[in-house]
Amino acid sequence: MANSPHGGVLKDLYIRDEPLKEALQAEAETLPHVVLTERQLCDLELILNGGFSPLQGFHTQAEYTSVVHNNRLPDGTLWTIPIYLDIDRTTLDALGVSAGSRLTLRDPRDDQPLAIITISDLYTIDRSQEALLVYGADDEAHPAVHYLRHNTRDTLVGGDLQAVNAPQHYDYVAIRRSPAEVRALFKKLNWTRVVAFQTRNPMHRAHRELTVRAARMRHANVLIQPVVGLTKPGDIDHFTRVRVYQAIMPKYPNGMAQLSLLPLAMRMGGPREAVWHAIIRKNFGATHFIVGRDHAGPGSNSQGADFYGPYEAQDLVLKYRDELDIEVVPFQMLTYLPDTDEYQPINEVAEGVKTLNISGTELRRRLKTGAPIPEWFSYPEVVRILREANPPRDLQGFTVFLTGLHASGKESIARALQVALNQEGGRSVSLLLGETIRQELSSELGFTKRERDINVARIGFVAAELTRSGAACIAAPIAPYDEARLQVKKLVAKAGGFYLVHVATPLDVCIKNDRAGVYARAIAGDIKGFTGIDDIYESPVNPDLVADVTKTSISQIVHEIILLLERDGYIGDR
């Protein structure tokens, strides 16, 4: 028999509001609306399908205050993470809504109406207080605090929801299940004791061993329920992870385990989040929940120390175990014993026994460099999927971004580098010259700072897409402003390598090299806002290479760029 929901009743608003669906759908089209953020979309789905039972809406001010300060809803029910709908006050004023108003909430992906909220109150919060009380520190190295500081809007909207439509998913539909569907699955399979396993990372042999140990200890079946909503920035994408989970499921004895995805927006809130995860798994019907080492931990703070102790999450879940009414299965980290070819909890290993382990950092290094990953650590099927998603450097794309004044020689360097990379072979090479981009992509733009930034952003977008596809991209705009260049670097670096080359040819040489006479027209006042004359050029602070064609030949500059690429493994045979 599945566990009872938190609060006693599964608050599935889709089932509750099904008789009103047609009327709600029509009303939703007449109401003012807002488009949800990605995090709000995840929260909304789990409110509507009962995953966040007993919640039936976004937190009111009284609920928010009670949760932040007391880990409880106003009626005393245990709840540890605030769930709120944040909207800009200017947007609310423009929509003309206030307490008592009804507002349609739309899907950011397809603009479909998902729910209607009846607004109970509008309120503001103390962000520092939430950071300290909920996440333990007002430190932007914590992902949730960074989100709170930079992404959370200024006004919170509390109120109950009515379900209109479920969010439409197109990926892994067969294993995206609501709490009611998971409970029905347990009933169909005659599962009465179920241990749930939460993960946001790929699973390897140690994870399989951990979950099987938990099943043996509790005489239970296993629900693998990975998060496919928002996780920690920099995590492996959920498409890759789900392929890994699907590959590892046959490694369990037949009938022992099931895989079901959870559209949760994690906060990486450590102890409080572990309690929240236990509540959610209880709502899905699990009777047991695995809490491992540093559960939902975000890593190190700005001083280099961990935000939470390694077993602090276990301690808080155990503190509330009677109220949670779900049995916690605490686990130490497992380590591999090569002499006996087995995994054991690290606290059970006798002194002097040889152990082996591969950290997440070391795994990422091996994936990037193509170094071997031993079978004692992971299954060949899993490694193959991870290598497809994380090819070694010599198969990854990169961008070389040359910036400098007009007629500084950056275009000549770019063309020579294109030849050198084509000669090297192994990937396609694309050249994005400033004038070409102006003609083909930005012909409607002028030369104000805003328009220059838009032009550079477009170059960055194209460069990132080329890099993501494994190509070599050479971009050579003037790009006079440091912030715009940093934004390009941030975008491209998510897809592959990025190298900033400052072509620092002196202005007087640039003027001399300008055969078109553009500088002369700018000096005469015929052209306004020309970089280097009456508009600034902000020199890069930390470029990967500084080049000056008056001191170094173009062939030598190209060679130095090639050496950078070889150093990092993008070219050359290692």
Q: How many Cα atoms within 13 Å fall on the side-chain side of residue 476?
A: 20
Give the 3-state secondary structure of residue 499: strand
485 catalytic residue (yes or no)? no
Q: Are 479 and 456 contacting, i.e. CB atoms less than 8 angstroms apart?
A: yes
Q: What are phi and psi of 307, to 5 degrees?
A: -65, -40
For residues 280 and 417, what is the distance between their CA atoms, to the nearest angstrom? 54
267 catalytic residue (yes or no)? no
Catalytic residue among 200, 241, 272, 452: 200
199 catalytic residue (yes or no)? yes
Catalytic residue among 77, 201, 240, 335: 201
Instruction: Please report where in the chains the tokens 């928010």 appear, as a residue.
Output: 64
Instruction: Give the helix/strand (H/E) hosting 209.
Output: helix 205-218
Q: How many CB atoms lie within 10 A of CB 90?
A: 11
Give the 3-state secondary structure of residue 393: helix
Q: How many CB atoms lie within 10 A of CB 193?
A: 16
Taking CA atoms, 165 is separated from 14, 15, 44, 180, 184, in Å, by 8, 11, 11, 16, 21
The DSSP letter of residue 560 is H
Q: How many Cα atoms within 13 Å fall on the side-chain side of residue 347?
A: 6
- For the chain, how many residues are written? 574
Catalytic residue among 199, 211, 287, 403: 199
With 0-12 / 13-18 / 19 or more C-beta atoms within 10 angstroms meaning exposed / middle / buried, residue 431 is: middle
Cβ contacts of 482 within 8 Å, gap of 6 or more: 538, 540, 541
Indicate if the alpha-carbon torsion angle 87, 88, 91, 93 is positive or negative: positive
Q: Are 103 and 110 contacting, i.e. CB atoms less than 8 angstroms apart?
A: no
Q: Would you please indicate which residues are annotated as catalytic (active-site) residues? A: 199-201
